[in-house]
A and B are shown apart, each in its own frame.
Chain A
Amino acid sequence: MSSSKLLWASSLSIGIDRDGSYYPAVDGIDFYIGKGEILGLVGESGCGKSMTALAITGLLPDGVAIKKGSVLFEGENLIGMPEKEMARLRGRAISMVFQEPMSSLNPLMKIGKQVSEAVRLHDPKPKREAERLAEAVLGKVGLQNPKVLMQCYPHQLSGGMQQRVMIAMAIISNPKLMIADEPTTALDVTMQAQILDLLKSINQEYGMAMLFISHDLGVVSRFCDRMAVMYAGKIVEEGTVSNIFKHPVHEYTRGLLESIPRADSRGKTLASVKGRVPNIFEKRMPCAFAPRCQKVQDRCLKCDPPNIALSQNHTARCILAENESEINYASI
């Protein structure tokens, strides 16, 4: 089992130390990404998804630190790895694509240089060769006229084109894992679909595993193999996309699923999860979701919810999950 796991995070906690108090942003999460697999990490803003992604690559902002836990990547612990070694891994073995392509590219550097730099940082190729490769990859991610594009500055490109450039940089060294943090959120709907298709084809062609961070369950259902739902720094439900969509157990997951617009919900008011995610400086209930939960019970406010395995590929962190017997997904 462990040999098929590319990345394995266990009891990962990330937080902020301020004025002698510790505030957790991510609170002891466990998850894994199999080789060539796409794991969706979903939840509202402020649940700790991006922090998790940044922690993997050692890019947490100042003041935010990993408190405990480990992240094994091909058996090697990334937590506590020296900066230089980590830098060698970034881009070559693990690459990233961010939410806002416009601000994620250096405004004063030509596209060609930015893309070919991604190669040359890891492979001391001659400049000309790296540029040829960059041009080829820019074509590969569906950009027209890569030769001309190489000479352009980021502001001369549309948002979709910029995101393709970001993806080109993220795949050029053929890494094993790509972390995509809301890669389509800043794009319009048609562009979103195109970028997702592109990422899917990259996943299939290169067998590149992906950690796909999104708040859009609709996208996750089409795009990911497995998913983990995060709420207030904890993974509240985890499993294959088909299992969770067929039989969501945690009330938060159910709420998110109900808030996806569907063809048959046309004309009806879209459901939403009432309330908001507590910010990390707020005191939390044992089950952080309890204040928003429609089925909240006295026990939820007193003891930590257990993490219950509903099947081999489905777990939920909720007291109510205890009542779920072995689920027969096929019958649903």
Chain B
Amino acid sequence: MKKVAIYAARRLATAAFTVLLVSLLIFIAFNLVPGDPVRLILGTEASEERVAALRALLGLDKSLPMQYLGWISGMLHGDFGTSIKYQRPVAELIGQRVPVTVTLAAFSLVLAFAFAIPLGILSARKKGSISDKAISFGSMLSISIPGFCLGIFVIWLFGLKLRLFMPGGYVSYRTNIPGYLNYMLFPAIVMALPNAAVALNYLRSSILEELKRNYVKTALSKGHTLKGALYKHVLKNAFVPLISLVGMMAASAFGGSIIIEQVFGIPGIGALLIGAITSRDFPMAQSMAACISVIVVGSNSAADIAIQIIDPRIKLYK
């Protein structure tokens, strides 16, 4: 256990360094993007004095390294800057919307694995059977349909035909939690399906690979039935490679919810991010990108640490 703690500490240090590096890249990228936010706000007709004044107000007159340091130290103190477009603190704007996207991402991950685990086990156990083929066809389908198409289909089927939710009638978690969860279930399904398909195939091949290992023969020779050996010995081994997949999916669920949020009219961070980029709202876009990078790096690190805890053999002291 102590070893795991040391590993976790090192992993988190690496993660912090990675995030710092990413923040630098984000900062450089946004400063390379053509388009001057000041001109965008004031229009091309504005006088030079007004432009200079606004520049000073926004801190854009300072040198780039100073701007970067100012941004980073602000972030570390919880000050994410002020949105140029909304004229309100970025932290407040993001804070309102993050819970929505987090719910969506978490919900979709839980659903993805709720589909993937039983179906993955089933298709591995009945390899080559009709049900295996049906599952593989279904997963192929859910990977190949673009998210927005699937979204529209879900809206049509569950919203308009079955009337299980009101399309476009987003319910805020502040007013009605059951209503909110009910509404979020459907976009979460749309997001979950492709992930479920990927996880399912991963799990299936992982189980089939593990079943060939010698320890399975040992388990059987001790008196396990194939089913017993599968559940008591194979599954835990088969899940190990799946954990890093969970990490990657958690990260991509967060960044990938933008389209689904648009299709379902959900006020998550997606719309905010698109707005920030199109209106050259640099403080906003920059801080949001940094937040997403923290989540991506964080969930991958968490997955690595979880693998350490589960598999005693892997020791990545890096």
Contacts and interface: CB of A to CB of B under 8 A. Distances in A.
Interface of A: 57, 59, 83-84, 87-92, 95-96, 98, 100, 103-109, 117-118, 121-122, 153, 155, 166, 169-170, 173
Contact of B222 (A91, A103, A153): A91
Interface string B280-318: 000000000000000000000000000000111100000
Contacts, number: 78
What are the 5 tightest A-B residue pairs by CB atom distance, in nearest-first order?
Answer: A91-B223, A96-B221, A121-B223, A103-B214, A91-B222
Interface string B201-233: 000000000000111011111111110100011
A57 B223 CA distance: 10
Contacts of B225: 83-84, 87
Contacts of A109: 233, 236
A106 B313 contact: no
A89 B222 CA distance: 9
A100 B310 contact: no
Interface string B224-254: 1110100011001100100000000000000
Contacts of A90: 220-223
B28 to A, nearest CB: 44
A108 B236 contact: yes
Interface of B: 213-215, 217-226, 228, 232-233, 236-237, 240, 310-313
B233 A106 contact: yes
Contact of A118 (B214, B222, B311): B222
Contacts of B221: 57, 59, 90-91, 95-96, 98, 170
Contact of B224 (A57, A87, A103, A104): A87
B223 A87 contact: yes
Given A106-B218, A117-B232, A153-B313, 12 more contacts: A57-B220, A57-B221, A84-B225, A91-B221, A91-B222, A96-B218, A96-B221, A105-B215, A107-B311, A108-B310, A118-B222, A121-B228
Contacts of A118: 222-223
A86 to B, nearest CB: 9
Contacts of A104: 214-215, 217-218
Given A107-B237, A108-B236, A155-B312, A59 B220 contact: yes
Interface of B, secondary structure class, is: helix
A184 B310 CA distance: 31
A117 B214 contact: no
A100 B226 CA distance: 21
B103 to A, nearest CB: 33
A20 B88 CA distance: 76
Contacts of B213: 103
A169 B222 contact: yes
B126 to A, nearest CB: 13
A89 B220 CA distance: 11
Query: Chain A CB within 10 Å — which of B220, B224, B233 has the most?
Result: B220
Nearest to A179: B221
Contact of B217 (A59, A117, A122, A153): A59
A216 B199 CA distance: 46
A153 B312 contact: yes
Contacts of A121: 222-224, 228
B237 A108 contact: yes
Contacts of B240: 108
A92 B232 CA distance: 19
A59 B312 CA distance: 29
Contacts of B236: 108-109
A8 to B, nearest CB: 21
Query: Chain A CB within 10 Å — which of B225, B226, B310 has the most?
Result: B225
A255 B213 CA distance: 34
Contacts of A105: 215, 218
A105 B312 CA distance: 14
A98 B218 CA distance: 8
A139 B217 CA distance: 24
Contacts of A103: 213-215
A87 B232 CA distance: 15
A96 B236 CA distance: 23
Contacts of B312: 107-108, 153, 155
A106 B220 CA distance: 12
Contact of A106 (B223, B226, B228, B237): B237
A98 B214 contact: yes
Contacts of A88: 223
Contacts of B222: 90-91, 95, 117-118, 121, 169
Nearest to B215: A106
Query: Chain B CB within 10 Å — which of A100, A107, A122 has the most?
Result: A107
Query: Chain A CB within 10 Å — which of B218, B240, B310 has the most?
Result: B218
B256 to A, nearest CB: 32
B313 A155 contact: yes
A251 B215 CA distance: 38
Given A98-B214, A106-B233, A107-B313, A92 B223 contact: yes
A166 B223 contact: no
B311 A108 contact: yes
A121 B215 CA distance: 16
A299 to B, nearest CB: 42
Contacts of A100: 214
A173 B223 CA distance: 11
Nearest to A100: B214
B25 to A, nearest CB: 38
Given A90-B220, A109-B233, A83 B311 contact: no
Nearest to A99: B214
A89 B221 CA distance: 9
